[in-house]
């Protein structure tokens, strides 16, 4: 099973990226999670949204299309998901009706230093994915509060949080398998 | 009175940008509205959020600081404001506690071809501005539906809509004057 991880934070020491990397290291042997960095995704511009989009956008859409499912992690900036993540989803949502995100199983999570754990950002993210008609895996939501106390040296050390996310990955896997077309 | 206009859409024929330009052309003689294009604002990256930020970010923050008030227009993409606009606000919200947006009077509007007129995007925008502690001017909200029928050749031709927005600018002016410190 091939999963694609997307972090809404670009900084090198991002807690959300660290969580994705930590999850990737603990997956079952039949599952891989590759992270697609959003650093190269340009601002969405309808005039560039042609049949030959910017190369990073084409790569993002192709990576989403090639994945069995997605794991998207977002920080919370100003009561919402990061503009960086929303911008990437705006690109990924196109062209209308033909986006590789349509019907794609997606597990979302948010992580923040705050006690709210980015819950507002995650609510926006889920709403946006619903608008795109991705297929949300809505298990008890993964909201990682005080994330800076759970991540050390780029590793998610809090085993309860890690296990909770891995259970979410399990639900994502069930959703993927339920939708797989028999060969 | 010096207003700064920000459009959440980058494309040349943007309805939101057209509306801002049309409003700028109809303001009272003592008021100017300059539009700050977001095209050059890079993706927010905490590692670049230093005392010497990217030049376009420094210019945006300075333009906000120099304006008496802002008029922000957003399209609606995937049930939210554009990632482009959110990203610009993420930059403009920093540094925490010292952003030029803090306390700044802001009038918001949304415009869309849809019947909903971008109302969901505007709700997100207002929430984000509230988080930043900008000073929202919340007159009956300016939601321009079927905007493609009201804008022709880059001009907002619908006089009822134009008058409604100009009344909103009047409310913004009242807010600005109410907060002005007597010389």
Q: What is the ipTM of this complex?
A: 0.96
**Separation CA B18–CA B12 (nearest Å):** 9
When pLDDT is cut at 50, 70 and 90, the band that residue B96 belongs to is confident
In the predicted model, is pLDDT for residue B150 greater than 90?
yes
Q: Do A11 and B43 touch (CB under 8 A)?
A: no
Q: Do B78 and A88 touch (CB under 8 A)?
A: no
In the predicted model, is pLDDT for residue A183 greater than 70?
no
Average pLDDT score over residue span B76-101: 96
Average pLDDT score over residue span A46-50: 97
pLDDT digits (tens, 9 = 90+) for A14-24: 999 999 999 99
In the predicted model, is pLDDT for residue B183 greater than 70?
no
Domain of residue B175 covers 6-180
In total, how many domains does chain B have?
1
Average pLDDT score over residue span B119-147: 95
When pLDDT is cut at 50, 70 and 90, the band that residue B132 belongs to is very high
Any domain includes B124: yes
Which residues share a beta bridge with B73? Answer: B7, B109
Q: What is the mean pLDDT of chain B?
A: 96
Cα–Cα separations (whole angstroms), residue B113 to A153, B12, B145, B150: 48, 16, 6, 10
In the predicted model, is pLDDT for residue B164 greater than 70?
yes
Does B182 touch chain A if contact means CB atoms closer than 8 Å?
Answer: no
Residue B133 · residue B102 · CB < 8 Å = yes
Q: What is the mean pLDDT of chain A?
A: 96
- Percent of chain B beyond pLDDT 90? 93
Any domain includes A105: yes
pLDDT digits (tens, 9 = 90+) for A60-96: 999 999 999 999 999 999 999 999 999 999 999 999 8
Any domain includes B1: no
Q: Provide, as residue numbers in chain A, all residues whose Cβ is less than 8 Å from the Cβ of B120.
A: 127
pLDDT digits (tens, 9 = 90+) for A165-178: 999 999 999 999 98
pLDDT digits (tens, 9 = 90+) for A2-16: 999 999 999 999 999
Residues with Cβ within 8 Å of A114's Cβ and at least 6 positions away in sequence, in order, are A76, A145, A146
Any domain includes A130: yes
- From chain A residues 38-77, the ones with a CB under 8 A of any chain B CB are 38-39, 41, 43-47, 77
pLDDT digits (tens, 9 = 90+) for A133-150: 999 998 779 999 999 999
pLDDT of residue A180: 73
Give the residue carrying structure tokens 């410190």. B181
In the predicted model, is pLDDT for residue B181 greater than 70?
no
**Separation CA A45–CA A42 (nearest Å):** 8
Question: Model pTM?
Answer: 0.96
**Separation CA B110–CA B92 (nearest Å):** 20
pLDDT of residue A96: 87
pLDDT of residue B179: 74
Any domain includes A1: no
pLDDT of residue B146: 97
3 state SS of B135: strand
pLDDT of residue A140: 79
Does A10 touch chain B if contact means CB atoms closer than 8 Å?
Answer: yes
Which residues share a beta bridge with B152? Answer: B155
- Percent of chain B beyond pLDDT 70? 98
For the four alpha carbons of B52, B55, B56 and B61, in that order, the dihedral sign comes to positive
Any domain includes B165: yes
By CA distance, what is B41's nearest residue in A? A43
In the predicted model, is pLDDT for residue B14 greater than 80?
yes
Q: Do B87 and A90 touch (CB under 8 A)?
A: no
Q: Per DSSP, which regions of chain B are E strands?
A: 2-7, 32-35, 69-74, 105-111, 135-144, 151-152, 155-156
Q: Provide, as residue numbers in chain A, all residues whose Cβ is less than 8 Å from the Cβ of B41.
A: 43
In the predicted model, is pLDDT for residue B182 greater than 90?
no
pLDDT of residue A179: 74
pLDDT of residue B180: 73
Residues with Cβ within 8 Å of B74's Cβ and at least 6 positions away in sequence, in order, are B7, B8, B9, B16, B81, B82, B85, B108, B109, B110, B118, B121, B122, B125
Does A86 touch chain B if contact means CB atoms closer than 8 Å?
Answer: yes
Q: What is the CATH number of the domain that holds A40?
A: 3.40.50.360
Q: Do A90 and B77 touch (CB under 8 A)?
A: yes
pLDDT of residue B3: 98
pLDDT of residue B140: 79
pLDDT of residue B40: 96
Average pLDDT score over residue span B56-80: 98
């Amino acid at each position: 099973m091939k999963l694609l991880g997307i972090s809404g934070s670009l900084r090198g020491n991002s807690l959300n990226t660290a969580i994705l990397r930590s999850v990737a290291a603990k997956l079952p042997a039949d599952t891989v999670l590759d992270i697609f960095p959003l650093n190269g995704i340009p601002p969405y511009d309808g005039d560039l949204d042609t049949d030959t989009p910017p190369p990073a956008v084409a790569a993002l859409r192709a990576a989403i299309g090639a994945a069995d499912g997605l794991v998207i992690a977002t920080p919370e900036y100003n009561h919402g998901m990061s503009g960086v993540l929303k911008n990437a989803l705006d690109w990924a949502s196109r062209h209308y009706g033909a986006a590789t995100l349509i019907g794609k199983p997606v597990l979302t999570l948010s992580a923040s230093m705050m006690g709210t754990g980015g819950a507002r950002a995650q609510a926006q993210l889920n709403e946006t994915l619903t608008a795109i008609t991705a297929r949300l895996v809505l298990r008890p939501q993964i909201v990682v509060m005080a994330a800076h106390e759970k991540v050390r040296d780029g590793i998610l050390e809090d085993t309860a949080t890690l296990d909770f996310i891995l259970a979410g990955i399990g639900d994502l896997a069930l959703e993927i398998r339920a939708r797989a077309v028999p060969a």
